[in-house]
Structures are given as C-alpha cells and as structure tokens.
Homo-oligomer: A and B are copies of this chain.
Amino acid sequence: MKAEIIAIGTEILLGDIINSNAQYLAQELAALGIDMYYQQVVGDNEIRVMHAFDEAYSRSDIIITTGGLGPTDDDITKEVAAKYFNKELIKDENSTKKIEDYFKFRERAMTQNNLKQGLIPEGATVINNNNGTAPGVIIEDDNKIMIILPGPPKEMKPMFEESVKPYLQEKSDSILVSRVVKILGIGESAVAEEIKDLIDTQTNPTIAPYAKDVGVMLRITAKAETKDEALKLIEPIEEEIKNRLGDNVYATEDINIEEVVARLLIEKKLTISTAESCTGGMIASYLINYPGISEVFLEGAVTYSNEAKHNRLGVNNDILNKYGAVSEETAREMAIGIAKTANTDVSIVTTGIAGPEGGTLEKPVGLVFIGVYVQGKVTIQKCLFKGDRNKVRLQATITGLDMLRRILIK
C-alpha cells in the first residue's frame, strides 16, 4: 500500500509556515508500515490541486491532504476533491450542528461562509474534529482512497490519531507498535553513543532517537501481527535502555516532565510553591497545565524585582547587596522564603540572566541558579544555558522540574 501526502496551501509555498504536518504524517505512515515515495505541496488553486491529485494517483493508492478546509473562499480542498471524484457536496447535519453550536456557545456571529465547513462529498465518511469546526473526510472510490485533513496541527494530529490511524491499521496486515523513552540530563549524541550497539544491531524493534526542544526522545518500534507480540519484542530493549541511562529516563510514555513531577507530588501528598525570577511564571504555568495540580499547588510568585524578592519572599537585603540577585545565596533564600510564606513542603525557584542584555563577564547571559526545597533541604544548581531569551527560560524551567523529579524518586 503506497500513500502520498499533498499539503494544500499557498502559505507553505510562500514559506509563511513550515510543513510540519508532512513530517508528522510521514512518521506515522512509516510506523504503520505504509510506503511513501513522494510528497507534494501545492497552492490553493483548483487546476493545480487537480493536477496534483492526478499525478499522485498515477503512482499511489492513498492520498492524504492537509489544509484548505477553512471557511474562506480560497479554502478549496473539499470542493476540488468532490469535483475530482464527481460527487456533489452535501450538508452533513452533525458537522453543521457542531458549527452552529460553536458560534452559539461563543455568542459570536456566524457567517454563511462558516457553514461551508459542514459540506461533505456525498458517500464520504466524516472524520470528527474535536478541536475545531472543520471536519475531515475519507473518500473511497474506484480503488482510490483520499483522506482530507485540516491544516492546523492541533486539529489534524488528534484527528489522525483518533480516526485515521485505526482506519489505516485495518487496511494493513501487520501492526507497528511504538513505545517512547523520554530523557533529560544528557544530549542526543551522548544518548546515541550509550546505546549505539542496540541501534546498530536492532531491526525489529527499531530504535530511533529524536532531539526535542529540551531533552531527547527514543522511539522503539516493533512490527508484529498482534500488539502483544510487538510489546514482547519491545520490552527487553526498553529495559536495557533504562538500565543504561538510569535516572536520566524520566518517562516511558509520551508525557512531559511537568506531568511526571505533578504526579509524583500528588502521589506523595507534597504541596508545592514556586518563586520565579528569570523564568517569570513559566514553571508555575507548566505545572498548572496538569489538571489535578490544584491538590498540591498552593501558590506561585513572580519576583522579578529585588523589592519583590525582599517583600514577598523575605530575601535578606544584605544578601541581595552582597551576592546579587543572581547568586546561589539569593536562590537559597528564595527557596526557603516561598516555602515558608506559602506553607508548602516543596518549592522551586529560579534567578538568572535570560538576556539578551544584562550579562557581564562574571555573570553572563544564560547563567541561572535553580533552587529546589524539599521538606527543609535546599538543593541549588548553577546552570549556564545557551540560546535566546525564551530558550534560556525554557531550559531553566525544564531543569528545575527535573531537579525536583530526581529528588522525589530517590
């Protein structure tokens, strides 16, 4: 079974957005054991989209399109697909109702254009979109399959995961099962070095490393007839990797560090507070994205100024003057101060120089002191991060959460 991805959107041809959908779908199709020999990108133009369809079906069985399902007149994917297969566009009651509800709920005016999103080529299967108003469509006709998905990754990915993947899996005779191993604290090349022999000798399962914004992910993928058989192939490899990488492995499922930390805190019934200077609320914001966090997260402070560090956290002015706001000593006082005033078992604090200005020879941009307080004991880590302001803040946030994780699993 051969598939081809066609991204439809002038914004990709102009370079306004990167075609990240193609990478996601390519990975997913590879994992499903479906071959892909070509990808195309084409603008919002009927003749050219038609041509791309023709070309793709001359060599592939399945076309997956992304983009062009919006409410405006230059969103034409469904219209061109219907024409290609000689089908009428008919109103899908469910999708139309969802669109109407969406606008009613938000008390926003709905235009005639919005209802266009509820039209479906006759005989096609609707793919539910739980994160937007544009449903997807599967057309099966004349031994051809066309899967039409929206462009925004936040809508497209869940739709693929929930509906398209099971659909394609059924068409395939073997299944691929993947498990991920998520790693912090060592870089991609060090990880690859550590498990080079495994990567080189394994064919089933395969092991592929991916560098993330911060951290590394390994994907272990096995091909088998059943899920159980695939898992039996994966498990010994996963164990071996965990043995070699030790505490650097923070998860063996695709969850984020904040979720791991939030779960540990809830499990151990430890309350937490945060006091952030350079990360400026990012640690609190990450933690609070975990739904159950209200059980343990009591309070966060963004103490950007020295006054706030003193007034809110009780950091001694002598320490601020003697060592500076960006120092181990200040971080220590902040960690104790917020835990005490918020009355929590645990705290995470940061103070550093995120840049681009404010660095000196002694205290360069990227220098961050991270403090973690756990029931009376303070741990401080001095870090020197590389990258722009946002990257420094992100690395400080992830490192702070990871420091706490390592203490909590001891």
Contacts and interface: CB of A to CB of B under 8 A. Distances in A.
A209 B305 contact: no
A301 B305 CA distance: 13
Interface stretch (A235-243, A275-283, A369-377): A275-283
A102 interface: yes
A346 to B, nearest CB: 14
Interface in A1-58: 10-20, 22-30, 36-43, 45, 48, 52, 55
Contact of A299 (B41, B43, B45, B301): B301
Contacts of A38: 13, 40-42, 48, 52
A13 B36 CA distance: 6
Interface stretch (A135-143, A165-173, A188-196): A188-196
A187 interface: yes
Contacts of A187: 108
A301 B302 contact: yes
A254 to B, nearest CB: 10
Task: Tell me if A's interface is mostly helix, strand, loop or mixed.
Answer: mixed
A289 B18 contact: no
A263 interface: no
A152 B211 contact: yes
A105 to B, nearest CB: 7
A319 interface: no
A307 B298 contact: yes
B305 A302 contact: no
Interface residues of A, number: 105
A61 interface: no
Interface stretch (A69-77, A83-91, A119-127): A69-77
Given A106-B384, A187-B108, A291 B355 contact: yes
Contact of A289 (B15, B20, B390): B390
Contact of A288 (B291, B304, B387): B304
B208 A357 contact: no
Contacts of A393: 285, 288-289
Given A71-B189, A305-B299, A23 B30 contact: no
A174 interface: no
A52 B52 CA distance: 12
Contacts of A307: 298
A160 interface: no
Interface string A200-224: 1000000011110100000101000
A351 interface: no
A37 B30 contact: no
* Nearest 10 interchain pairs by C-beta: A280-B288, A300-B302, A281-B281, A15-B26, A15-B27, A281-B284, A39-B41, A281-B285, A71-B189, A299-B308
10 contacts: A11-B208, A12-B23, A14-B27, A15-B23, A274-B281, A281-B283, A281-B300, A285-B393, A293-B304, A308-B342
Interface of A: 10-20, 22-30, 36-43, 45, 48, 52, 55, 70-74, 102, 105-109, 111, 113-114, 131, 152, 154, 187-190, 192-193, 199-200, 208-211, 213, 219, 221, 274, 276, 278-285, 287-289, 291, 293-294, 297-305, 307-308, 312, 342, 354-357, 384, 386-391, 393
